A and B are shown apart, each in its own frame.
Chain A
Amino acid sequence: MMLRRTKSGIVNGLMIIYALITLYPLIWLFISSLKSNEEFYSRPFQLPTKWHWDSFSRAWKISDMGTSMLNSIIVTALSLVLTLAIGALAAYVLSRFQFRFKLLVMGLFLLGMLIPIHSTLVPLFIMMNQTHLLNTYGALILPYVAFELPIAIFIIQAYMNTFPKEIEEAAFIDGIGYWGIFLRMMLPLSTPALSTVAILAVLRFWNDFSFALVFISKPALKTLPLSLSMFATGYMTDYQLTMAALAMAVVPTIIVYLIFQRSIMQGMIAGAVKG
């Protein structure tokens, strides 16, 4: 008994050390953002001697983070609304109707999940260049939605497939059309699936780097990851500022993660396994 308790004590101790190592890069990020440049490398493990809270406001101003954060919010929000609306509608059709090309359509979306997004960067860039879509919000929103649709449709459709047929028959007798059924029954009933899709989509849109890197070059339209990478390149040697900018960019994601932890974990795994 004693032995077992010591053993689990050691295991727990090792686990805590592992967790701290895992979290260390983040802890270090936050501590470093409060240090002067000199302390950053002369005393990397200690707490700052003088806490430089001002680095946040300076980094915010110099990196113009207000603009990029606003861009990220606009792009993420619009893409999310489109993904949910278009995805849920398509999922409803695929879940409830029989028609000739159904298998073909589903196969097409399935194929979409196998395509690595990076392989479409060059042709999309050429297409967007010709249609003058580069350097617009649309250059990000449209491909975001398009690439998120397959997984959104499959998650929502799988969920809708579990609803019994009878609920719609009752609605039909009441004279509610397809749109009524979709808007007033299917959508509200699918809330759990919709929120899984929303979590996956928001994280993907918010963190996307490749599309923004290739399709956006106008400073006023840069999203957060893109402007951070530019800022870090430009201010590489001003560690305090770079660290403060990174810390501010990370805080919203961490807060969202702490609140929705459970659904984020489950959603990402559902997304990964199906995708």
Chain B
Amino acid sequence: MNSANRTRAFIAVGLLPALLLFVTFVILPILWSAYYGFYDWKGIGKATYIGFDNYAEVIQDPVFWKSLQNNMLIVAASVFGQVPIALVLALLLMKGSRLHTFIRSAVFMPMVLSSVVVGIIWGYIYHPEIGVLNFVLDSIGLGSWKQQWLSDPDVSMYSIMVPIIWNYIGPYLIMFIAALNNIGSDMDDAAKIDGAEGSRKLFSVTLPLIWDTIKVAVVLCISGSLKAFDLIYVMTGGGPAHSTELLASYMYNNTFSIYRYGYGSAVSTTIIIVSLLLVAGSQYLMKRGDRL
């Protein structure tokens, strides 16, 4: 075997395992779900081709739109909750003192916990009879503010947002701290000479300089919002009355609770389309932001 052939063989052998696994378990499922989406299929027995009926049903189902809306609410909670909180904390925690490092670690900690654990803990905090939250409200005389935090459809989605925000502040905090430290002290000195201090310095010097990092954080919020399934599943399962349904839980409930594999596949394909649109949309926003 000559050396060119040997190189070619090595390239093939080196890429084969990765490509094989990746194509089989990531790419192929997407193609399959696009295919099954055109069938009415209960998982056993014969699958009947029904054209675009599943997709038409998805689009006409108010629960689907409710789920999509909830996904967007989570995006909003992340963009307007996590990002500003992380930014404020970063401005206060820039210096690497022992206390600051401790607080950073505390804020980041939920990131490494299983969302099942997080979900169960918060489920207990919100519990209407035995939960800490209602207990606190009672003991500080705000008993009238007590809620059925997770079982009242008007409240539950907002209750869900708190643990989601709590859980994911950490990475944004660390990103912002890194960006702030990158600005360096030169810029600080320059700002001081120009007489910019306090809030003026914040808005005219600091924020514009880390604007790119903020944009990255917003994009991450958008793509991250599709991952909230575990927490929702553990805390509410999408209920009550679909009030906390997300696209992923909508897909799960339609497939594995009532065995509509064809319909579930159509929803899966829709989720991919929605998420690609979101990614494309956020990329577009970033680009447009650059020109301004």
Contacts and interface: CB of A to CB of B under 8 A. Distances in A.
Contact of B279 (A45, A114, A179): A114
A126 B120 contact: no
Query: Per DSSP, are chain B's interface residues mostly helix, strand or loop, or mixed?
Result: helix
Contacts of B272: 115-116, 119
A39 B31 CA distance: 54
Contact of B10 (A15, A22, A178): A178
Given A89-B17, A123-B32, A127-B28, A22 B166 contact: yes
Contacts of A129: 43
B187 interface: no
B125 to A, nearest CB: 7
Contacts of A210: 229-230, 248
A250 B120 contact: no
Contact of A265 (B33, B123, B174): B174
A28 B28 CA distance: 45
Q: How large is the interface on B (under 10, 10 to 19, 20 to 34, 35 or more residues)?
A: 35 or more
Interface residues of A, number: 89
A122 B261 contact: yes
B105 interface: yes
B92 A228 contact: no
Given A124-B29, A149-B18, A116 B275 contact: yes
Interface in A48-91: 86-87, 89-90
Interface stretch (B72-80, B107-115, B141-149): B107-115
A50 to B, nearest CB: 19
A272 B19 CA distance: 22
A39 to B, nearest CB: 11
A246 interface: yes
B24 interface: yes
Contacts of B107: 18-19, 22
Interface string A153-175: 10000000000000000000000
Given A119-B33, A228-B116, A15 B271 contact: no
B276 interface: yes
Nearest to B220: A272
A216 interface: no
A86 B106 contact: no
A137 interface: no
Given A15-B93, A16-B103, A272-B220, A126 B261 contact: yes
Nearest to A268: B171
Contact of A142 (B25, B116, B129, B227): B25
B50 to A, nearest CB: 17
A118 B103 contact: no
A12 B89 CA distance: 11
B211 interface: no
Interface stretch (B55-63, B200-208, B262-270): B262-270
B112 A93 contact: no
Interface string B216-230: 100010011011011
B255 interface: yes
Given A121-B252, A249-B114, A265 B25 contact: no
Contacts of B247: 118
B117 interface: yes
Interface string B224-263: 1011011001100000000000011001100110000100
B113 A119 contact: no
Contacts of A269: 171, 174-175, 178
Contacts of A109: 22
Nearest to A118: B248
Contacts of A150: 22
A183 to B, nearest CB: 12
A114 B19 contact: no
A229 B116 contact: yes
B288 to A, nearest CB: 20
A191 interface: no
B135 interface: yes
Nearest to B93: A15
B52 interface: no
Lowest 10 CB-CB distances: which A-B pairs, in order? A146-B25, A41-B130, A123-B29, A93-B14, A90-B18, A118-B248, A123-B32, A207-B114, A120-B29, A123-B33
Interface of A: 11-12, 15-16, 18-19, 22-23, 25-26, 28-29, 32, 40-41, 44-45, 86-87, 89-90, 92-94, 97, 99, 105, 108-109, 111-112, 114-127, 129, 142-143, 145-147, 149-150, 153, 177-179, 182, 203, 206-207, 209-210, 213-214, 224-226, 228-229, 232, 239, 242-243, 246, 249-250, 253-254, 256-257, 261, 264-266, 268-269, 272-273
